[in-house]
Chains A and B, each alone.
Chain A
Amino acid sequence: MVESAVTGTRIRERRVQRGIKQTELAAMAEISPSYLNLIEHNRRRIGGTLLLRLARALGVEPQVLSQGAEVALISGLHEAARDGSAAAAERDRLEEFAGRFPGWAQTLVDAYRHGEEMERMVQALTDRLAHDPHLAESIHEVLSVVAAIRSAASILVETPGLEQKWRDRFHRNINEDSKRLADGANSLVWYLDATPGSEADIRSPQDELDQFLSENHFGFAALEADGVGGIDAVLEADTLLSLPAARELARTFLEQYQRDATRLPRSRLEQALGRVGLDPVALAEDVQLDLPCVFRRLASLPEDVAGPIGLVICDGSGAILTRKPLDGFAVLRPSGACPLWPIYRVLTQPGVPLRMRVLQSGRDARPVTALAATEQIGPVRFNEPPLVRAYMLLLPAPQSEEPPSPVGTSCRICPRPNCVARREPSVIQDGF
């Protein structure tokens, strides 16, 4: 009989259950208490006659000690039972439960662990908002500059007969401070955005996915139709994805990538680009594929093939799933995006793609051509509205006399006044 590494733990549990002292059991099994102690802590493997003697002394079959329910499972159940909300759990029957219903026991332990992980994440995010020194410093910097601008502006407006030298001085101060305000706001955007490679230390699975995709420039040569290797090889070579949920997200992304690469190989896409140019609608027509597929393939191209291309993907709730930023158009994940973006408007009329020339507020914003389309996910069923996912391809907008539609970044840091889409006050607007 070969004993598992946890036989000792089972011996200890049985002994404690029966209220037998270690010295007593050692005497019954004709071994020294120190040796039994080593056995109980799984530091000595046992078998043969010694196991039989211990089992006899404990009044159980030897198999119960050597092949009982996994100790990790029982240990997990003990942890779950210690939780304050599990006061009514029959703790004295944990092993029996684990032995008779190992599947349910594992489900319970998994749910408990998942809850613990969620609590840790919520706590970490709460701490970040409440105690993060960088965030506090950035907000202080912005509000201090706002205070300086407000004071100087009040002096200019409210001081009758203000001397020219003071007028010049406060005008200069306002000018300086307005530049600093723009920098401070950008710093906040950068921080709240928590872009891959930033110093933000709280990492969600989505953060890790963002970094993984960014580091790979959203392209995976190994998964192209003529590439060698596969998804497993890509994931094995990666060192950025530490969270299991992040690896799951990455796998899902890569599976879609591989399907897309099969439908629209890089060579065929580049040929089509040569024929019709960087016009996603014309490209979709040329290659006879749907817009979302063309969007995803365009976003996978290196910048030297078709220039900078951004992509945002969200689900039907508006949650951003994937974001490939484009210079001049900020896409924030943690703080929620702007409902004026075409990607959200297209959700209100699935199947009708949108093309808009948009411009965010902010000093670094540049006009962007945003093309949005939806894609149905899941099987089609009678009398069930479809589940959709929305895509927004971002391209630098060409020069045009057509004024861009103003949009925001995220309400909290968006200064646009009187916006019908605003869901919360802006920290930049407060106090004005």
Chain B
Amino acid sequence: MARQVLLIEDEPNIIEAISFILSRDGWDVKSHSNGHDAMDVVRAQRPDVVILDVMLPGRNGFDILADIRADPELGQVPVLMLTARGQVKDREMAERAGASHYMIKPFSNAEVLDVVRSLVRT
């Protein structure tokens, strides 16, 4: 069975592009575009990897990540954070919150693919 990636991102064309490249690589990609109820979706889907945008409508990615890490059943899920904020303090905040990897927009498709693969291997 294909491994599942949950992409939480509010930019529809980013969702489409990332879904395309990961699907072609054999991943089962689900997406969600709202921060408000993102945790419900994570709990329901139980993905192998979460790709999480920082700035989401309803709730920011750092808060969602904190909830994932605090959840005993989801705490170990690898989370790749995507953000347009490249400041050092944002990177540090993501690391402190427990992000497995942190990627700054605009990113390359190959980079996303490599990181997602590596997150599952580790």
Contact = CB atoms under 8 A, between A and B. Distances in A.
A150 B14 CA distance: 9
Contacts of B16: 152, 169-170, 173
Interface string A143-162: 11111111110110011000
Contacts of A158: 109
B109 to A, nearest CB: 5
B105 interface: yes
Contacts of B84: 139-140, 142-144, 147
Interface residues of A, number: 27
A173 B105 contact: no
A35 interface: no
Interface string A166-184: 1001100100110000000
A176 B13 contact: yes
B17 interface: yes
Given A169-B16, A173-B17, A146 B106 contact: yes
A226 to B, nearest CB: 56
Contacts of A177: 13
Interface residues of B, number: 20
A143 B14 CA distance: 11
A141 to B, nearest CB: 8
Nearest to B24: A159
Interface string B12-42: 0110111011001000000000000000000
A50 interface: no
A155 B11 contact: no
A139 B84 CA distance: 7
A37 B110 CA distance: 77
B108 A150 contact: yes
A147 B11 CA distance: 10
A186 to B, nearest CB: 18
A137 interface: yes
B83 to A, nearest CB: 8
The listed residue with most A CB atoms (<10 A of its CB), out of B13, B20, B83, is B13
Contacts of A154: 108-110
Interface string B85-108: 100000000000000000001111
Interface string B42-67: 00000000000001000000000000
A136 interface: yes
Contacts of A432: 106
A385 interface: no
B48 to A, nearest CB: 21
Contacts of A146: 105-106
The listed residue with most B CB atoms (<10 A of its CB), out of A147, A148, A431, is A147
B85 A140 contact: yes
A140 to B, nearest CB: 4
Contacts of A148: 11, 13-14, 17
Interface in A366-395: none
A432 B83 CA distance: 16
B105 A147 contact: yes
A155 B55 CA distance: 25
B80 to A, nearest CB: 14
Given A140-B85, A154-B110, A158-B109, 12 more contacts: A136-B55, A137-B55, A140-B84, A147-B105, A147-B107, A151-B21, A151-B107, A151-B109, A154-B108, A159-B24, A169-B16, A173-B16
Interface of A: 136-137, 139-140, 142-152, 154-155, 158-159, 166, 169-170, 173, 176-177, 431-432
